[in-house]
Amino acid sequence: MSRAIGSRYTVETSPQAVEYLTAVEDVLDSEEVQDLKYFAHHHSTTRFQHCLNVSYYSFLLCRKLGFDARQAARAGMLHDLYHSSPKCTKEHLRNHPRIALENARNNFDLSDVEEDVILKHMWPIRKGRPSYPESYVVMFTDKYIALIEYCAYIKQSAKHTIKKHK
């Protein structure tokens, strides 16, 4: 599968692998989620890898904090479930959670917590404060992971620029 960004382990070999993979098994195995591998995200990764990063770290955080790690992991894998490559505009930032939720509802049975996580992961850009602790964990994890992914892109671009000028 994949290594979550910043992790020493692949997801399959982490100490929590069995528990994590059991939580997201039906989501990971779906064609809709696998198709996210074909869409770039945050310049340096794919949408699938981004969702895996958010899902895995949200799972670990919720597990440590005593929240529902399974629901956070599932919703983390589905929070950006859309199959297009739109420009990153304010409109896109506000609208993509609704699109992701519609796509997730069409393909999976979702709990109220999972729906809240998906719909509200872009707060405060999108109106509607999260209603569950798992929603806050995924929201903050998503922002943290996006920052790391963007920094990886900047680092990669800088290396390419330096190499080009030598």
- List the chain domain ranges: 11-164
pLDDT of 92: 53
User: Does a cis peptide bond (omega within 30 degrees of 0) precede residue 130?
Assistant: no
Higher per-residue pLDDT: 54 or 89 = 54
Contact between residue 73 and residue 55 where contact means Cβ atoms under 8 Å apart: yes
Per residue in 3-28, pLDDT (tens digit) is 565 555 566 667 788 899 999 999 99
What is the C-alpha separation between 88 and 91, in angstroms, rounded? 8
Prediction pTM value: 0.84
Residue with the bigger pLDDT between 96 and 132: it is 132
Query: Which of the two residues, 69 and 94, has the higher pLDDT score?
Result: 69
Q: Which CATH class is domain 11-164?
A: mainly alpha
Per-residue pLDDT tens digits for 140-163: 999 999 898 888 767 666 655 555
Cα–Cα distance, 6 to 11 (Å, whole number) = 11
